[in-house]
């Protein structure tokens, strides 16, 4: 891993919820430009918290996180400016329910990036076309299915032309028949070379596109493995136990 190609770097990150719950324990990890890293592990292992620390939606207690060489935990860092460069997709979509799909894709472009209305609409329509929802631009999020909403959420993040994308369990709130339409969009993003960190239980997706798999348990990064290697030959006992529980027989 060359350090100049490094996009995201975590060094010795610690975090507590309240005084007693040690949710992240000395986590270190680097993600290179264009790399796809999947984070998996049992629920409550700290995966979602870890990914939310990267764009400072959650503060950290100790350690360092840099994104594109900018220190996230530095109080002097302009967090909104940094967040605008990192796209994030949430488990529950979090589209803005009072805005149309088109407005959802435009608000950040106009209010944060300062693009003109026409520019923003043009970019939004292109992205909606890409995720196969061009016909739904004038609808409200409540009118779309879960899978459609999540594709809009991905398009909203992409509208900001991010240098990296974070996915926090993007398919776990979806009905099974809608999971693939979302994963397809993510696969095509990965193939285009987007830097991605994905918290997911979709091991088929991980196998297909992940350059590396990070396995977390109890707030620790237990193991980091190359894509296929992790599945066929996990090094740690905890990863083996986890995989035996989630992989089909």
- Which residue, 173 or 224, has its beta carbon nearer to other proteins? 173
Residue 134 has which token pair? 């061009």
Helix ranges (H only) for the chain are 47-54, 79-85, 101-111, 117-130, 146-158, 176-191, 203-209, 227-232, 237-246
Q: Would you count residue 114 as binding other proteins (CB under 8 A)?
A: no
Which range binds other proteins by CB under 8 A, 11-19, 29-37, 80-88, 208-216? 80-88
Query: What residues contact residue 56 under an 8 Å CB cut-off, 6+ apart?
Result: 72, 73, 77, 79, 82, 83
Q: Would you count residue 90 as binding other proteins (CB under 8 A)?
A: yes
Distances (CA, A) of 44 to 198, 205, 247: 16, 21, 19
Which range binds other proteins by CB under 8 A, 32-40, 59-67, 82-90, 220-228? 82-90
Which range binds other proteins by CB under 8 A, 9-17, 67-75, 107-115, 205-213? 107-115
- Smallest separation, CB 47 to other proteins (Å): 16
Q: Would you count residue 117 as binding other proteins (CB under 8 A)?
A: no
Q: Would you count residue 100 as binding other proteins (CB under 8 A)?
A: yes
Residues between 125 and 154 with contacts to other proteins, criterion CB under 8 A? 139-145
Q: Would you count residue 219 as binding other proteins (CB under 8 A)?
A: no
Give me the phi and psi of 41, to 5 degrees please: 150, 165
What string of DSSP letters covers 130-193?
Answer: HTT-GGGTTS-GGGS-HHHHHHHHHHHHHTT--SEEEEESTTTTS-HHHHHHHHHHHHHHHHTT
Q: Would you count residue 57 as binding other proteins (CB under 8 A)?
A: yes
Q: Would you count residue 88 as binding other proteins (CB under 8 A)?
A: yes
Contacts with other proteins by CB under 8 A lie at 52, 55, 57, 79-88, 90, 92, 94-100, 107-108, 111-113, 139-145, 156-157, 160
């Amino acid at each position: 891993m060359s350090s100049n190609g490094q996009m995201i770097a975590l060094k010795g990150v610690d975090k507590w919820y309240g005084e007693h719950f040690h949710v992240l324990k000395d986590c270190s990890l680097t993600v290179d430009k264009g790399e796809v890293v999947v984070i998996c592990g049992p629920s409550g292992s700290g995966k979602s918290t870890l990914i939310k620390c990267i764009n400072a939606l959650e503060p950290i207690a100790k350690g360092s996180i840099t994104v594109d060489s900018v220190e996230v935990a530095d109080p002097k860092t302009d967090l909104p400016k940094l967040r605008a460069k990192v796209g994030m997709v949430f488990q529950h979509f979090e589209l803005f329910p009072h805005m149309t799909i088109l407005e959802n894709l435009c608000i950040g472009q106009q209010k944060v990036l300062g693009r003109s209305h026409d520019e923003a609409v043009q970019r939004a329509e292109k992205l909606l076309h890409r995720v196969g929802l061009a016909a739904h631009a004038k609808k409200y999020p409540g009118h779309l299915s879960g899978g459609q909403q999540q594709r809009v959420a991905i398009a909203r993040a992409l509208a900001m032309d991010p240098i990296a994308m974070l996915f926090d369990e993007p398919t776990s709130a979806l009905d099974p028949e809608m999971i693939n339409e979302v994963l397809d969009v993510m696969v095509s993003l990965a193939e285009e070379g987007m830097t991605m960190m994905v918290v997911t239980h979709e091991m088929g997706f991980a196998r297909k596109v992940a350059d590396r798999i990070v396995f977390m348990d109890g707030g620790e990064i237990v193991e980091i493995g190359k894509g296929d290697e992790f599945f066929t030959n996990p090094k740690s006992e905890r990863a083996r136990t986890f995989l035996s529980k989630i992989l089909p027989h």
